[in-house]
Structures are given as C-alpha cells and as structure tokens.
Chain A
Amino acid sequence: MAANSIREDEELSQVKKSVTIKRLLSYLLKYKKTIVLVMFIMAYCVGVSLVNPLILESVVDDHIVTGDLKGVFILVGIALALNTGRVILVKIRMYVMSKMTNTIIQTIREEVFTHLQTLGFKFFDSRPTGKILSRVMGDVNSLKQVLQNFVITLLPDFCTVVAVMVIMIIKNPRLALAGMTGLPILIIGLLVIENLCRVRWQIVRKKSSNLNAFLHENISGIRIVKTFAAEEESLETFDELNQEHKDAFIKAVRVNDAFNSVIEISTAISIICMYYVAVHVLHIGAENVGLLIAFASYLALFWQPIANLGSFYNQIITNLAAAERVFEVMDLEPEIKDGEAVGEMPAIIGRVRFKDVGFAYEDGVPVLKDVNFDITPGETIALVGPTGAGKTTIVNLISRFYDVQTGTVLIDDTDVKDVSIDSLRSQLGIMTQDNFLFSGTIRENIRYGKLDATDEEIEEACKKVNAHDFIMKLEKGYDTELTERGGGLSAGQKQLLAFARTILSDPKILILDEATSSIDTKSEILVQKGIATILQGRTSFVIAHRLSTIRNADRIFVIEDGGIAESGNHAELMARKGLYYDLNMAQA
C-alpha cells in the first residue's frame, strides 16, 4: 500500500477559505455571552479613550489657563477613576477571553483526538506518526491567536472604522473621500499577498510536519541509528528537512512581510490626497484649519484599526493552513464503523465461521479468496504458511480491523458487522506482532487489559504467563517505570508482559499473531501450560512459525495463495506429506 514518507509533503484536500473560517467561527459562537461581555467592556474602554482627550482639552483650556487648580485636580481625578475602572474591566476581559480561547483549543484538540480513535489502520499505516501528531498538537495550538483576535480585533475594529468613516463623511464628504483613496490600494495589496501566501504557508506547515515525522522516527529508532553508525547520515537528513522548513518559511515571509508596508503606503497616499484636496479643491485656509487638524486625527483613528484588521487578516491566512489540516482529519470517514442500528455482541461462546470470505487491501490484489471454515467453541487453530499468504488478514477480519469485501464472518451466530466494534473487541484477546507498552509502571501496563483489575489479579495473570519471576527480580517489581515501548526490557520480556495483559482481559477468543516469537522455548512451554487451563473451552487462533507452538493445535490450517490449502491436526498433515510436511522438514 502506498505510504507517505518523511520527505514527501502530505497532500491536503483543497477547501474554500470561507468554509474553514466559518467553521472556526462556529466554535466561537458557542460563547455568545462571553463575547457580548467582552464587547461591552471594549465599548467602555473605547469610550474612556475617547473621553480622555476631551478631559485633557477641558483641563488645559478651561482650568489651567484660568488658573483654577481645584478644577484641574477634580477633572484629573475623574479621569483617574475612569482609567481605574478600565483596568478592572480589562482584567475581566483578558481573563474571560483567555478562558474562552483555551477552552476552544481544548475542545478542538479533544475532537481531533476523539475522531482519531475511530479511524482505521489504513489511516495510521499510510503516514508517519509524527505527522499525525503534529496535527493534534502544533496545528491546534496555532489556532489560539486567531480565535482570540476574532473577538478582540474583528468586531471592535470594524465598528471603529465604520464609525470614524461616518463621522468623516458627515463632517466633509470630499475630504473624507480623499482620506480614503488608499483603501483600494490596500485591498488589492492584501489580496495579492494573500494569494501568494496561502500556498506558501501550507508548505511551511507541511515541512514542519515532515520534520516532526523525522524526529519521531529517529528518536524512536535511535538504537538502529546508533548501531549502524548512521548519526551523520541522519544529521544530513535532519539538515535537509530543517533547511527546507526554513526556506519555506523565508519564502512565505518574503511576501508576507510586505503587509505592513502596504498599509504604510496606502496611509501615506491617503494623507497626501487629503492635504492636496484640502488646499487645492477646498481651499482651506487659516480660518478653518481646525477642520483639517481634526481630520488628520480622524485619519489616524481610521487607519489604525484598518492596520489591525489587515494584520488580523494576515494572521488568518498564516494559520488557515493549520486549521485546514486539523479539520481535514476531523472530516475523514472511518472505514470501519458501527452501523446505524448495531446491537451489542452477546457473550461469546466461541464458534467462528467464515463464509465465502474475500478480501483485498487494494483493489485488484485479492489477499483472501472464498475462504470457508467453521470452528467449534474451544478449538485451537494454528495458521501456518509463507509470509504474506494471508494469515494475519484472517485474524484481522475476525477482530474486524478490516471489513470483508465478500462473504461474512460470523461469531457464534452473529455477523461481526452487526454488532458494535467495542462490544466485539472487548471480548477478544488479540496479541499482535507489535506489542506496544505505554510509559508507566508495569502494573499500569498490565492493567490495560482489565481496567478494574486488582493487584492480585494482575499478579495472577503474570504468574500464568511466567512473567512474575522476572518482574519480582526488578528492583521496584510491579512498580518499575517503563518508557514507551518498554525500553530496558528484552523483547521476550516485553512479549510476556503483553501476554499477561491479554490474559488479564479474560478473552472469549484468543488470537495470537506471532505473539510468542521472541519468547524462548522453555518459557513458551511454561506459558502454554499456564494458559492451557484458562483457555479450556475458549477458541484460540495461533499464528506461529515454531513447530513446537503449532504442533499441539487441534487443527492446523496451511494458508497459501489466499486460501486454506490443507487442514487437519499435526499427525494427519504429516501423514499426508503435503505442504505442511515440507514446511516441517525445513525446520528439522
């Protein structure tokens, strides 16, 4: 199957800008009360900053000039009170804003993560962990500023612009028009920059995600890197990705940084036009210079919020790519999901049937063709055959990691598609080749199999798989901290822990997919003896290459070319001198 490598950029589905922005806004709209409160506070603050100059003017003109010291102090006192009020309100505003944006970020991250849990292996197999991770973490984080500014910039500044525009037009329409000549230039400039930048910022995000993917692999594969003395090589790759990221960034800012300059130029043009119109068209002279001075300050009031809006717009463009990446994951349809009217899987007895099952990972490349079998409860089935023959696929269909394309998989009398995935899998014990241990203590890791297990139950499970002894030899025993993937333990020990975890889950059907390959023969025999008793009456599937593991199975299926080529117990198959016999002789 096609996978995305570290170096390749991810493909991103193209979404309309407005759709993404609307979607971001929809999160804000859940906080209408907060937003209204913030608006009121901002209105008060704007009010205070408008009143402030009036007070100053009055203090100078009416009191200082007349020598009225008392008046000066009274007015300054009023202004101080207004400002103190502002401080308190700003505190409230900042706090509620921060709470709101952080909560939204928390919500979005939770939504992405929750959705991620529903996605199938196809999604996870086709891209590096680091790239998925960067969507949940970095991309979500970068939405914070945008969300914040939606509230504190967009509406207030927009209102200010409109208000000032109205005042200017009322005072003098021609002068007002002249003062806005830069506007078209600004809009065109912003649109051009936006067009150039959008793709560039997307590339920056992708490069950053590539770097993340590389870091993830290189750190988790550090032993391989070291033993192959490949540090320099990986530093080379790192350099490449690091440089690419930087270059992409520089390419983006090269255009993006023109933003403020465009604003600057349009402001300058507007002011020049205004003075020109004032002098040559309106013939303003000394007698009405006050109007001009007022207009100059209005223009400043007009262009400041425009600049804010511009840089907010810029911020949206910069971070849109992050939002797109986040929403893209949220929109992915899980390939395996519960149907509309699913039931719960009843307590499993253990009969497993395949009826004419066909399956392909990729269209046109069938892995299984017309597989039929019927397993009675309590049977142990061994699946053998060359790698790639479809052994793992068969067990993956039982646990519904994939859905069959043709035919049906029945457990007892229930089609696995008709019950919820959760109710099905929680009754199965699946041990794969890739047994992941989480960071945490050994005890916590084993408890993963049964969340409410007591310490006694955990020890019991460990004893059954013969893991108890080695755990007790560790200094902290069950409380030994493991790093992810169980660093510090041998592969065999990790498998034993994973085994204990599975046993603890008390599965009705046990699936062991090369689960004991790293355990030595002696431990394996002990393990088998240990679980033999608890497995009595439970169906199990074992995929293994080691003869000793296979030999005792009730039935052995030899899988070849997507079908069951031979089946029977060890003695029968050996007597037949077919494929199984050949395989057996190879190991002797």
Chain B
Amino acid sequence: MRDKFNLFTHIRRHILQYIVALTALILSVTISMIVPEVQRHIVDDVIVGGRGELLAKLLLLYGVLGAARAAFQYIKEFCFDSVSSKVVVGLRRDLFRHIQSLDTGYFDKNNTGEIMARLKEDIDKVWEALSFISMLLIEVVFHTVFILVCMVRLNGYMAIIPFIAIVSCGVLALRMDKKLDKVFGDISEENAVLNTTCEENIAGVRTVKAFAREAFELVKFRKHNDRYKELNVDLSRVFVRYYPFFNFVSGIVPLLVLALGGLFYIKGMFGITLGVITAYISYSNNIVWPMEMLGWLTNSFSEAVASVKKLNKIYAEVSTINDPEDPVVLDHVEGTITFDHVGFHKEDGHDILKDITFEVPAGRTLGIMGASGAGKTSIVSLLTRLYDVTEGEIRLDGVPIRDLTLKQLRGSISLVMQDVFLFSDTIAENIKMGRRHDISERTIRLSGKRAGASEFIDKMDKGYDTVIGERGVGLSGGQKQRISIARAFAKELPILVLDDSTSALDMETERDIQKRLKELNTITKLIIAHRISAVKDADEIIVLEEGRIAERGTHEELLRKKGLYYETYVSQYGEPEAKEVV
C-alpha cells in the first residue's frame, strides 16, 4: 500500500455537500439570468405598456428572486468553504501521517522548516484552489456556456467572434500556466528555504545571541527574503505578460461584434437586425468578466498545481523501515537482546558499526562505553529500528526484530535519549507521552520521584501540570534529563535504554538514580555512558572503538586488562588503589 496525494477520495467523501454547493451555484446563476427579464417586463409592460396593476406582482417577484439569489449565494459560498476545509483536513492528515511514517533517514536529509512549509503553505494553496477558485471556475464555465448557447440561438454566424475569443483565452490560459508553473515551483521552494531560515533563527536563538550574530542572521534572512520578493515580482512579470490579453480580448469582443454585425446589417446578410446586434452586444458584455476572471483563475490554479507537485515529491518517498507482512507477535516480551554480527554502514558506504555481537539476557545490564562517534548511539538506533542493520541480525527474545511490528518492538523499549527533547506541554503530558491513555497520575508521580525530578517539580506552582517550553527551555539541563528519565520509567517496559542520559545531573542525583536503576532488576538495561560510575555495576561492559567492540568484560576484568577502559578510569579517578582492582 502506497500513500499518495488522493484528492478524489476526500472529495467523494463529501460529495453530497459538493452537490448541494453546485446546485446552489447553478440556481443562483440561473436566477441572475432571469432578473434582467423581470426588469425588462417592468419597463416594457408597466411603464411603456401602462399596465400599472402588474407592478406589485413584478416587484414582489423581483424581491423573491433577489432573496432567493441571496440565499443560494450564501449556501454556495458556505458549502464550498466548509466542504473544502473538510477535504483539506483530510489531505493534511494524510500528508502528516505519511511524513510521520517515513524513516529517520528522510528527516536527516530534510529540514524541519521545509517539511513544515509543505504541510502548511502548500496544503493551503490546494485549499484555495478547492474553495473559491474552483467555485469561481465552475461559475465562469457555466456562465459562459449559458451565454454562448443564447448567442448561437440568436444567430449562429455572429457567434464565431465570441467562440474565437473564448478559444484564444483558453489557449492563452494554457500557455500562461506553463510559464507560471516554473515560477510558482521556485516560489514554493524559496518559501521553504525562507521558512527554514527563520525557523533555525528562532530555534537556535541561544546560539545566535551567544555569538552576537544578530547582524549576520539578518544578512542571511535578507538574502532569502529579498529573493522571495524577487521571485514574486518575476511572477507578476509573467502574469503581466499574459493577463492584459485576457482583458484585451474580452474588451474587443463587443467591438468586433459591432463591426461584423454592422457589416452584415449593411450588406443585408444572414438576416441580422438591429435588435440582434443590440442583444449580441449585451451578451458580449456579459462574458467580459468570465474571460477576465479566467486569467486570475489560471494564476491561482497554477500555484496550487505547483504545490501539488511538491507534495507528490514527498509522497514519492517511501519508508524503508516498515512492519513485516506477517509479523511475529510475542505474547510477553522477556527482554533478551541479541546482536548477532551486526554491521551498519551509511548510504555512502561509510562504516559505522562492524561485527557487533553480544547478548543481554532478560533482566541483565549491558554497559556501553566508547569515544564520541564510536557508534554507541547507533547501537540504540538499530535496536529501535530507527535504521536497519546492513549486516547481521538483532533479535528480541530470539525473534529477529524485523519480524516484529514496529509497535511491539518500540513499545517494549523505553529510551532516554542523549539529546533530550521535551514538548511544550505539561510535565505530566510529557511523562505520559506514548501511552497517554493508560498511564495513571500515580505512575507519573512515582516515576517523577524515581527519576529524582519530584523535588523541583513539586516546587513549581502547578507541579506536574506546569507547562514547560519547547525543548524544555526554562529548565536546566539536569532538570530536563530527569523529566526524560521519568518519561522512560513511567512506561514500565521490559527494556530500558539510557543513552548518556545522566551527563547533566549533579553527582548526588546521579547516584540516587543509579541506585533506583539497580532496584529495577527485572528489566533489561542498556546503559551508554562516559562516566565509569554509570556502568561499573553492569553485568557486561563493552567498549567501542571505531565501530568495533574493542574490549569487553566486567568492571574488574576490564580494569585488569589495562586497556581503553582502564585509561578512562584513570582519567576520571586517578590510579586505582590496589585493593579496588582485585
């Protein structure tokens, strides 16, 4: 099953409202064709014909028609507005769901600001096209056809002029669309870049201010803001090249009708009368606005089409990490993790991990150490299937993780990430995240306490209901880490992964948390750390170097080896005393 931009499914879902909208549209156009007739009757019958008694009736009819048209117009507009907003809700949801399903690789390559621009601006363009643009387009077509029919019935030969005019407007619209398409594509692209520039400036405000780079940021912003403007002016250059022709063509139609009609009349051809000419002219005047409108509509339509193209590009991305077709379902996850000769390299062939083999039996603890970039976090990313292994296999309770659903796999692992990310929401909501519906107030508080977070949370005005800012700004690094540890604790899952997640804690808090961790002896733990104190009690410790396991063993064994682990120990604590080594 592949996701795609599926406009018609959503339109079909609301087809009834579309039909109502179209009916109202047709009725309101029809009424506007009748209204001049009523006026003509008033003039011809009542005033010229002197039949005063008809006036009341005709005026009443006029009033009724006016009221009906007002009503139909309202129904038409409201229906188009509301139905299109409903369709767009569906389109936006589809796109969001699709984007969310993409693998991490996609997000490594695309900036937040750009993805946001697609979900907001580009969808908004489609929205515009669906609401008033399509409404007007239908109205224009309907109106034009109606009048053309009238013209042909009046005199077929003379109709050649409006026909030529309409065809040339159509051709013009197509040509303009082609030119506009590129410019709109560029604008949409630049909009995404501008969005990214602003987004980064806001999200990275601390860095900007730390370097006093406001002026530089402004230069960067200005470059894109100016280009965005230039592109918009370019757009109007294209539009200006074509649009006045719509104006021109529609403007000369009555004149040409007059010239041709005059010629026919004077030469006595095709039975043209003065009345026919007059009627033709008033009809011609009536198709002026639809033809002019066509220019505007083409413009807006091209814009939407350019956006749809961008959206289709996102839909063309497929996640390489998916649920298996026939997933194995574990009734109960014990928590035994096996890495079997696991290797991982990036698309460019650059090796990240090579030949990693270990097994952590359920309830045991594995400590992982190693230099920055040695591949520690990659082990976690592979275990949670943020990426897939390129060699070997990872098993959970003996089942290859590729055979499990992502939900079961990820739903068995609680992770505390190195890069703490909190949402601007209440602390309670942040802790509940992922299991919003079934985590009790009690569990929240308990895990807050266990993570050593309750003391500062309780000091806050609203306690656990305090809203924290995006990324937890306003909290110190240690406080954020504790909330994110509480978030993992609250899930009470069989596997707990701590990725360098106590680095910002003061020593006392860290010691408390280590103690708590030890108490959780039924849970399988993977602890990545730089501090010896965090891993020394693990059942096994592996030390990574350039993607390989360089050393492994318990704390004591590793100290005796006097290798990398020992060096780290020395740099943190100094030479171990003899009794400790033994």
Contacts and interface: CB of A to CB of B under 8 A. Distances in A.
6 contacts: A113-B198, A272-B59, A384-B506, A438-B200, A521-B571, A522-B564
A219 B112 contact: yes
Interface in B79-117: 81-82, 85-86, 88-89, 92-93, 96-97, 99-101, 104, 107-113, 115-116
Contacts of A405: none
Which interface residue of B65, B100, B263 has the most chain A CB atoms within 10 A? B100
Interface in B104-142: 104, 107-113, 115-116, 119-121
Contact of A261 (B71, B222, B265, B418): B71
B8 interface: no
A264 B69 contact: yes
A130 B67 CA distance: 45
Interface residues on B, range: 35 or more
B357 interface: no
Query: Considering the complex of A and B, which 10 residue pairs feature the smallest CB-CB distances, nearest first?
Result: A492-B372, A268-B66, A387-B478, A436-B204, A228-B434, A98-B236, A425-B212, A517-B503, A261-B70, A430-B210
A505 B211 contact: yes
A401 interface: yes
Interface in A416-446: 421-422, 424-426, 428, 430-436, 438-439
Interface stretch (B274-282, B389-397, B555-563): B274-282
Given A6-B425, A102-B232, A106-B228, A80 B252 contact: yes
Contacts of A52: 251, 254
Contact of A117 (B50, B214, B511): B214
B481 to A, nearest CB: 9
Contacts, number: 506
A286 B419 CA distance: 88
Interface stretch (B41-49, B175-183, B302-310, B442-450): B41-49
Given A64-B261, A249-B85, A399-B210, A583 B506 contact: yes
B172 interface: no
Nearest to A109: B225
Contacts of A137: 121, 191, 194-195, 198
Which interface residue of A243, A260, A384, A474 has the most chain B CB atoms within 10 A? A260
B63 A272 contact: yes
A206 interface: no
Contact of A386 (B214, B235, B470, B508): B508
Given A388-B476, A523-B371, 8 more contacts: A56-B258, A64-B262, A86-B251, A238-B93, A268-B69, A432-B210, A436-B207, A490-B377
B12 interface: no
B421 A289 contact: no
Contacts of A67: 266
Contacts of A65: 274
Interface in A261-291: 261-262, 264-265, 267-269, 271-272, 275-276, 278-280, 284-286, 289
B327 interface: no
Contact of B255 (A80, A211, A278): A80
B62 A233 contact: no
Given A83-B248, A87-B245, A475 B348 contact: yes
A113 B215 CA distance: 11
Interface string B417-446: 111010111100000011010000000000
Interface string A233-244: 111101100110
Interface of chain B, main secondary structure: helix
A575 interface: no
Contact of A110 (B47, B207, B221, B281): B221
Interface stretch (A22-30, A120-128, A169-177, A371-379): A120-128
Interface stretch (A13-21, A89-97, A151-159): A89-97
Interface string B186-209: 000001001110111111111111
B199 A216 contact: yes
A313 to B, nearest CB: 16
Given A73-B259, A268-B67, A545 B506 contact: yes
A105 B252 contact: no
Contacts of A83: 248, 251-252, 255
B155 interface: no
A267 B211 CA distance: 63
Contacts of A1: 469, 474
Contact of A239 (B42, B82, B93, B423): B93
Nearest to B419: A491
Interface stretch (A250-258, A350-358, A454-462, A561-569): A250-258
B456 A276 contact: no
Interface stretch (B145-153, B331-339, B404-412): B404-412
B85 to A, nearest CB: 5
A428 B210 CA distance: 8
Contacts of A218: 100
B452 to A, nearest CB: 9
B226 interface: yes
B503 A518 contact: yes
Contacts of B201: 113, 116-117
Contact of A59 (B207, B221, B258): B258
A67 B421 CA distance: 86
A532 interface: no
A224 B421 contact: yes
B472 to A, nearest CB: 10
A213 B85 CA distance: 20
B217 interface: yes
Interface stretch (A319-327, A407-415, A480-488): A480-488
A448 B384 CA distance: 34
Given A87-B247, A387-B479, A520-B372, A484 B196 contact: yes
Contact of A94 (B85, B113, B240, B386): B240
Contact of B82 (A213, A253, A473): A253
A531 interface: no
Contacts of A264: 66, 69-70, 73
B507 interface: yes
A340 to B, nearest CB: 20
Given A113-B218, A387-B504, A223 B386 contact: yes
B206 A432 contact: yes
Contacts of B217: 117
A88 B578 CA distance: 95
B458 interface: no
Contacts of B350: 473-475
Contacts of A183: none
Contacts of A500: none
A431 B210 CA distance: 8
A496 interface: yes
Interface in A481-509: 483-485, 487-493, 495-496, 498, 501, 505
B240 A95 contact: yes
Contact of B263 (A72, A249, A519): A72
A385 B506 contact: yes
A195 interface: no
A574 interface: no
A31 interface: no
Interface string A63-92: 111011100110010011001101110110
Contacts of B531: 521, 546, 587
A548 interface: yes
Nearest to A436: B204
B207 A435 contact: yes
Nearest to B482: A387
Contacts of A430: 210-211
B17 to A, nearest CB: 12
Contact of B573 (A88, A211, A401, A588): A588
A514 B504 contact: yes
Interface string B500-526: 100111111111000000000000000
A230 B425 CA distance: 15
Contacts of B564: 522
A475 B198 CA distance: 29
B366 interface: no
